[in-house]
Amino acid sequence: MQPIRTFNVSPSLPQRLEPLRKLAYNLHWDWNVDTKDLFRRLDPDLWESSRHNPVLMLGTISQARLMEVVEDEGFLAQMDRAARQLEDYFNERTWYHKNRDKGLGTGDKEQSHSPNPPSGISSGDAESLARHASLSGLSHQSPLPLIPRGGPEFPNRQPKECYAYFSAEFGLVDCLPIYSGGLGVLAGDHLKSASDLGLPLVGVGLLYQQGYFAQYLNADGWQQERYPINDFYNMPLQLERNPDGSELRIGVDYPGRTVYARVWRVQVGIVPLYMLDTNIEPNNPYDHDITDQLYGGDIDMRIHQEMMLGIGGVRMLKALGYDVTAYHMNEGHAAFSALERIRMLIQEQGLSYVEAKQVVASSNIFTTHTPVPAGIDLFPPDKVLHYLGYYADVFGLNKDQFLALGRENAGDLSTPFSMAVLALKMATFSNGVAQLHGVVSRQMFKGLWHGVPVEEVPITAITNGVHARSCVAKSTQELYDRYLGPSWSSAPTDHPLWERMDAIPDEELWRNHERCRLDMIMYVRERLVKHLQDRGASPLEIAQAREVLDPKVLTIGFARRFATYKRATLWMRDIERIKRILFGNKDRKVQFVFSGKAHPKDIPGKELIREINRFIHEHNLEKQVVFVPNYDIYIARLMVSGCDVWLNNPRRPREASGTSGMKAAMNGLPNLSVLDGWWDEADYVRTGWAIGHGEMYDDPNYQDQIEANAFYDILEKEVVPLFYDRDVDGLPRRWVDKMKDAIQLNCPFFNTARMVGEYALRAYFPASDRSHTLTADNYAPAKELAAWKENLTAHWYNIRIKDINISSGAEIEVNQTVSVKAKVDLATLTEKDVRLELYQGAIDANGEIVNGIPVVMNYQGEDKDGLSIYTADVIYTTSGLQGLSLRVLPKHRYLSSPYEPRLIVWAQ
């Protein structure tokens, strides 16, 4: 029966309890333990059964219970304290203003063209980066007001800048299941720390009706998927409305129709996250499904989703009244946003295509999380033209010119359209998510900068982090607060508080960790029992599940997406040896906890899950090896605090970052990992163990054999003996020392406080400054730069290096000055358009200069033949076979770097 009218029924709260509504609708409660305790205190059972959803709690709790707490002075005092903490949080976000006022943005200054040194920060110094992102005393000038119900309220004056962060998924809390894994949780942590820092940032995403799937296992251990329907009205979400109370909607053009989406907001501290929902009338059933499942459907549905995210996201921000000055694309899913922005500038501001493209590219930021080409979204050219061909018409491009925007080699008409390539071509700043991943990314995408040495390809790296207050166990946070002070979660590496780690008594840290292990084990048992009951398992299986894991045994955790390169079954390679480790010594037992999901279409990934579960049953390991189904944020937090060792063994260099290990380290867990992702940067000797030494192999089977043996050796000879080495008080003193090192050395750097501060200093501030610069005076600087680039491209290939005179012969000494004079025919260009550089460095086995150092040459005028004369001196500080070359690069006051035009001339 269809209703004649619908109503959104809100919880009825006594007036005295109205602060609960404000607290429930701001996800600040997720990283404020006092507020979370408040909701747990209100109704512990309902808190658990609601999946820790305070909005659903308030909608279903009995009025009798509400009337009870109105009379409970202790509860009211805790509620008022939590409400004050939220208000204080709004008013204390000062990092952005303190650092922005220093003028750290580079604006129209000529920037370094090395991909590695951050703007305004010394190169290669992790402690310096953390120091620049010192996060004590955080604030925001004018946070968006919290609105439990109703439409948006905008301040009368927009901030002078705004950063928009686009992501296909956001992992914020377990009651918002619209994430699949590390990418989404990283995006969620990004928003949380942006709020902590007071950045004027807004999130943009899609709100999925079914989200990512819920996982369960059949009796054979094979992953099955369920897609529960998300009830948006009972989640911490708010519909955005027009002034007349109607739903705010935007439209996106698809072939033959317009698809409409409404806008939901979740408030993440002071940062609003806006998400689009197409499951509305008048859309047809197919279009309802655009925001149905995360990463679901076929390639056509993927294009539909990425159009809605990128194009719809830009239109949504405009409809909401935001004047965005920097756009951050978290992965290539949102790259279509660049096309829509260009269209708007052409049709609404009267710019030409090249002018509009210049404006857009100067304010875009792109973060790649993909270490292999197979992980990039690629679309067939015909589908791109079918869905987006009208942009080519607006831009005045033919089909091949348009498709070239997403092709590494514009002349290769057979290649698909790459979203990562589109994003890179449309970005002023691009980065990987770990230093090693930056190296891999420069190698992957070097073809976009033909002739540029791979180490200078302008893709830098900002190492990922995690949000400390979200992932550290409550009791552990209280321990750190007590001994280190409340600013530990954002203090940089050189902060004096880290010297107080030794002040934490060994016994107190260890007993706290034992409680965390027990909490995890009790929850694992509960989840397994429920899973087996739902599956209709036998009473014997259910009884066994109530006794899995031993709270006193060394517990190794492995939890992540089940992709084959992560090698979840490496530990099973030698069955007899792993059984000997598990059972060999009754006083030194080892147990494993596994969890994670495989993509529904990833059959090899599902096979890994089945292999583990079959191995458990075939070898009667049910008590010592457990696979926890339906991995989510909640079980992840229990595991990274309750396990003793965090295991990660991907095939190097396939792991872009691997943030779960950072969360474990923050809780005091040593990592046992292959030197990949973030672990390659960490102090893996003091804070854990390294599997291998960073080797890379051509034979995957041989690699698995070598690294499995290394894993067994480390476990038998180092990990197990250290864990069970107890003093007269029963304390593993040397293990606790390693725990303290894991906290002290990893917590201050591998966190999103440092990470987002680095994004602000290196990317947001400069991109926003460039946006202001290029759009000033009715886009006059952008028009100047675009015209200059067109002229540059038209004449660039006429440049000729006519003569190079080097003062010394082939034999020189260390620190000897070598003078170089070059004559160059710049054709119709001038010395203002170019800069000449000498390029010096050691020669490798292939006869190539490696890790070269550029030396800018000085312009000396023209000779009688009209040739431009340049001079410079170089010295070599090391002996051996060294090389020297000369190159010509573009130069303009508005360029973000000399590599922006993708033009370079080398001496032959």
Note the pLDDT of residue 806. Answer: 95
Gap between the Cα atoms of 296 and 196, Å rounded: 33
- What order of strands is seen across the sheet that includes strand 645-648? 625-628, 590-595, 554-559, 645-648, 671-674, 688-691
Gap between the Cα atoms of 741 and 624, Å rounded: 28
By the 8 A CB rule, do 115 and 206 touch? no
Q: Coil, helix or strand for 455?
A: helix
DSSP 31-94: G-HHHHHHHHHH-HHHHHHTTS-HHHHHHHS-HHHHHHHHT-HHHHHHHHHHHHHHHHHHH---
**pLDDT higher than 60, residue 34:** yes
Enter the tokens of residue 44: 């512990």
Note the pLDDT of residue 12. Answer: 79
**pLDDT higher than 50, residue 551:** yes
What number is the average pLDDT over the span 677-688? 97
Tell me the pLDDT band of 352, cut-offs 50, 70 and 90: very high
Gap between the Cα atoms of 309 and 259, Å rounded: 12
564: number of Cβ within 10 Å? 17
Is residue 259 within a helix (H) or strand (E), and if so which, with residue range?
strand 257-268
What number is the average pLDDT over the span 41-69? 95
How much is the mean pLDDT over the chain? 91
Q: Which of 648, 700, 703 is nearest to 675 (CA)?
A: 648
Note the pLDDT of residue 107. Answer: 39
What number is the average pLDDT over the span 382-390? 97
Gap between the Cα atoms of 749 and 683, Å rounded: 12
Note the pLDDT of residue 109. Answer: 39
- 797-906 belongs to which CATH class? mainly beta
Note the pLDDT of residue 85. Answer: 96
- HEC string of 693-735 equals CCCCCCCHHHHHHHHHHHHHHHHHHHHHHHHCCCCCCCCCHHH
Tell me the pLDDT band of 110, cut-offs 50, 70 and 90: very low
**pLDDT higher than 80, residue 121:** no
Note the pLDDT of residue 150. Answer: 31
**pLDDT higher than 90, residue 766:** yes
Enter the tokens of residue 250: 């935007």
Rg (CA), the chain: 29
By the 8 A CB rule, do 277 and 264 touch? yes
Gap between the Cα atoms of 19 and 42, Å rounded: 13
Any idea which fold 501-750 has?
Rossmann fold (3.40.50)
**pLDDT higher than 80, residue 130:** no
Q: Which of 835, 837, 841, 836 is nearest to 884 (CA)?
A: 841
Kindly report, residue by residue over 783-835, the tens digit of the pLDDT: 999 999 999 999 999 999 999 999 999 899 999 999 999 999 999 999 999 99
- HEC string of 786-823 equals HHHHHHHHHHHCCCEEEEEEECCCCCCCCCCCEEEEEE
What's the whole-model pTM score?
A: 0.92
- The percent of residues in the chain predicted with pLDDT above 90, rounded, is 88
Gap between the Cα atoms of 606 and 616, Å rounded: 16
What number is the average pLDDT over the span 387-399? 97
What number is the average pLDDT over the span 660-672? 98
CATH 2.60.40 location in the chain = 797-906
Gap between the Cα atoms of 123 and 583, Å rounded: 50
What number is the average pLDDT over the span 518-542? 95
**pLDDT higher than 60, residue 579:** yes
**pLDDT higher than 60, residue 555:** yes
Gap between the Cα atoms of 908 and 901, Å rounded: 21
**pLDDT higher than 50, residue 40:** yes
Kindly report, residue by residue over 257-316, the tens digit of the pLDDT: 999 999 999 999 999 999 999 999 999 999 999 999 999 899 999 999 999 999 999 999
Sequence-distant (≥ 6) Cβ neighbours of residue 595 within 8 angstroms: 558, 559, 627, 628, 629, 631, 635, 636, 639
Kindly report, residue by residue over 431-452, the tens digit of the pLDDT: 999 999 999 999 999 999 999 9
Gap between the Cα atoms of 464 and 202, Å rounded: 19
What number is the average pLDDT over the span 732-744? 98
By the 8 A CB rule, do 186 and 176 touch? no
- Find out whether the peptide bond into 653 is cis, omega within 30 degrees of 0: yes
Kindly report, residue by residue over 142-151, the tens digit of the pLDDT: 233 333 333 3
What number is the average pLDDT over the span 701-719? 97
**pLDDT higher than 90, residue 8:** no
**pLDDT higher than 80, residue 22:** yes
**pLDDT higher than 80, residue 141:** no
Kindly report, residue by residue over 219-246, the tens digit of the pLDDT: 999 999 999 999 999 999 999 999 999 9
Q: Tokens 């894994």 appear where? A: 181
Gap between the Cα atoms of 615 and 617, Å rounded: 6
- Find out whether the peptide bond into 282 is cis, omega within 30 degrees of 0: yes
Any idea which fold 163-461 has?
Rossmann fold (3.40.50)
Measure the CA angle with vertex 675, ends 565 and 580; round to 5°: 75
Q: Which of 514, 521, 524 is nearest to 476 (CA)?
A: 514
Note the pLDDT of residue 678. Answer: 97
Sequence-distant (≥ 6) Cβ neighbours of residue 878 within 8 angstroms: 814, 842
> What are the backbone angles phi and psi of residue 460, rounded to the nearest 5°?
-95, -165
By the 8 A CB rule, do 624 and 249 touch? no
Residue 695 CA from chain centroid, whole number? 26
CATH 3.40.50.2000 location in the chain = 163-461, 501-750
Q: Based on DSSP, count helices (H) and strands (E) in the chain, helices before strands.
A: 31, 28
What number is the average pLDDT over the span 745-753? 97
Tell me the pLDDT band of 125, cut-offs 50, 70 and 90: very low
**pLDDT higher than 50, residue 472:** yes
**pLDDT higher than 50, residue 115:** no
